[in-house]
């Protein structure tokens, strides 16, 4: 995806981009490539693929949520900053928290935030199930992009989502994961309100965005310890 194609596809999904934002994404790309030479941030390294599979793909969340109406957002398992950094660039009003369990990725994210002069965005080096113990019902939107299976993600993400807020899972093909999450949704008092399936432009790879509403306060026993979640998912 060339930069021109990127802009064109953003127009199709009603995302407007300024020259300043284009420059910030370009700087982000350059930092990603530079840091990726010494640490494993992404297997995708060509500029065209990064603009398609990271930058554009991150912004497809706008298919299910109007981010102009959102105050704060948490990106769980942010990795190299997708979608969190991209969303901060494109929606600078958002207060964003990036959570990752690997400190070297946090250092990269901190460098991006510094170089791009992003405000009201913080990184937290922790495991999400530990963060969820003391940060309950905190975020309007919680998003996770290709982090774990849905039934596990629900226990990670629903506790930190506000009542009547949304957890948004960004996936590829997720039909089987959704079937395996019926019990998890019931236990955690959440429901799938929208499932948007589409293909990425140019290469036609399948994407699914699952919008999940939190209906009630999460019971204090969730999230459990990592070993329990992993060995016995809800």
Rg (CA), the chain: 17
Number of domains comprising the chain: 1
In a domain, 156, yes or no: yes
Q: Based on the number of CB atoms within 10 Å of its own CB, is 180 exposed (0-12), middle (13-18) or buried (19 or more)? A: middle
In a domain, 9, yes or no: no
Q: Based on the number of CB atoms within 10 Å of its own CB, is 159 exposed (0-12), middle (13-18) or buried (19 or more)? A: buried
Distance, in Å, from the CA atom of 11 to the CA atom of 16, rounded to the nearest integer, reads 6
Residue 159, pLDDT score? 97
For residues 52, 81, 118 and 123, what is the CA-based torsion angle, rounded to 10 degrees? 170
**96-153 residue pLDDT tens:** 999 999 999 999 999 999 999 999 999 999 999 999 999 999 999 999 997 789 999 9
Best CA proximity match to 214, nearest among 147, 136, 104: 136
- On the question of pLDDT at 181 being above 80, the answer is yes
In a domain, 30, yes or no: no
Q: Please tell me whether residue 97 adopts helix, strand or coil conformation.
A: strand
User: How many CB atoms within 10 Å of residue 194?
Assistant: 14
Distance, in Å, from the CA atom of 39 to the CA atom of 21, rounded to the nearest integer, reads 26
Q: What is the pTM of this model?
A: 0.94
In a domain, 45, yes or no: no
Best CA proximity match to 65, nearest among 186, 196, 154: 196
Range of the domain at 92: 66-231
Q: Based on the number of CB atoms within 10 Å of its own CB, is 196 exposed (0-12), middle (13-18) or buried (19 or more)? A: middle
What percentage of the chain reaches a pLDDT higher than 90?
88
Residue 118, pLDDT score? 98
**33-58 residue pLDDT tens:** 999 999 989 888 899 999 999 999 99
In a domain, 42, yes or no: no
| pLDDT category of residue 213 using cuts at 50, 70 and 90 | very high
Residue 203, pLDDT score? 85
Residue 202, pLDDT score? 87
Distance, in Å, from the CA atom of 9 to the CA atom of 184, rounded to the nearest integer, reads 35
**Which of 115-119, 155-159, 227-231 has the least mean pLDDT?**
227-231
In a domain, 93, yes or no: yes
Preceding amide of 223 cis, omega within 30: yes
Q: Please tell me whether residue 94 adopts helix, strand or coil conformation.
A: coil
**CATH number, domain with residue 199:** 3.40.50.150
In a domain, 2, yes or no: no
In a domain, 52, yes or no: no
């Amino acid at each position: 995806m060339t930069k021109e194609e990127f802009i064109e596809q953003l127009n199709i999904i009603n995302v407007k981009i300024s020259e300043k934002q284009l420059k910030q994404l370009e700087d982000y790309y350059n930092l990603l490539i530079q840091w990726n030479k010494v640490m494993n941030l992404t297997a995708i390294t060509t500029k065209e693929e990064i603009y398609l599979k990271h930058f554009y793909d991150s912004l497809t969340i706008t298919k299910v949520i109007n981010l102009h109406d959102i105050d704060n957002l948490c990106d769980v398992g942010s990795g190299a900053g997708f979608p969190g950094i991209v969303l901060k660039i494109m929606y600078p009003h958002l207060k964003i928290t990036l959570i990752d369990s690997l400190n070297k990725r946090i250092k990269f994210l901190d460098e991006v935030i510094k170089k791009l002069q992003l405000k009201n965005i913080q990184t937290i080096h922790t495991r999400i199930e530990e963060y969820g113990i003391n940060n309950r019902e905190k975020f309007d939107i919680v998003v996770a992009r290709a982090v774990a299976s849905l039934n596990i993600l629900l226990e990670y993400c629903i506790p930190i989502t506000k009542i009547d807020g949304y957890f948004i899972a960004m996936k590829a093909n997720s039909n089987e994961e959704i079937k395996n999450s019926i019990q998890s949704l019931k236990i955690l008092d959440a429901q799938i309100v929208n499932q948007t399936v589409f293909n990425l432009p140019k290469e036609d790879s399948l994407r699914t965005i699952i919008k999940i509403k939190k209906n009630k306060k999460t019971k204090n026993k969730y999230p459990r310890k990592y070993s329990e979640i992993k060995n016995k998912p809800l």
